[in-house]
Amino acid sequence: MSLPLVVDEVLQEVDNFSIHGNAVKDVYDVPMSAINRPIPSILDREKVENMKTILQIPDREKELTPIDVHHVQYQGKDYYFAFGGCHRWAANKELGRETIRAKLIDTPPSMISNYLGASSPFK
């Protein structure tokens, strides 16, 4: 099942880049319920609260860098994984948002298997 995604029309230049998403320009509103976060996060509560404040002010949401989401197509299905962006994820979740701004990185199943080992759904 492919997600109904909306591409941001305006992208800002940001100072902090990710190794995976640096070359990806399109930013989507991805349903949080579709994203698998297999690694538990250790959160700095102050960072989360600061991000929540930013997210609640109209037109400031784009100040936060989109999270990287690995998109895997496997046996006709779409899978979405996020390994970073834990503070942005927590802020969005705690605010009850249904979507999160993200860059989709096409990722082979073997790469997810490298990250997750025996816990990988791609065997």
CATH of domain 28-119: 3.90.1530.10
pLDDT tens figures, 22-80: 667 799 999 999 999 999 899 999 999 999 999 999 889 899 999 999 999 999 999 99
The torsion angle over the Cα atoms of residues 21, 23, 26 and 31, rounded to 10 degrees, is -20
pLDDT at 99: 97
| Alpha-helical regions (H) of 2-85 | 45-55
The sign of the torsion formed by the CA atoms of 98, 100, 105, 111 equals negative
Q: What percent of the chain has pLDDT above 70?
A: 81
Average pLDDT, the chain: 86
Determine the residue type at 37: R
Spans of all domains in the chain: 28-119
Rg (CA), the chain: 15
DSSP string, 70-107: EEEEETTEEEEE--S-HHHHHHHHHTT-SEEEEEEEE-
Among candidate residues 69, 74, 85, 68, the one with its CA nearest the CA of residue 120: 74
Q: Hunting for tokens 């579709």 — which residue is that? A: 34
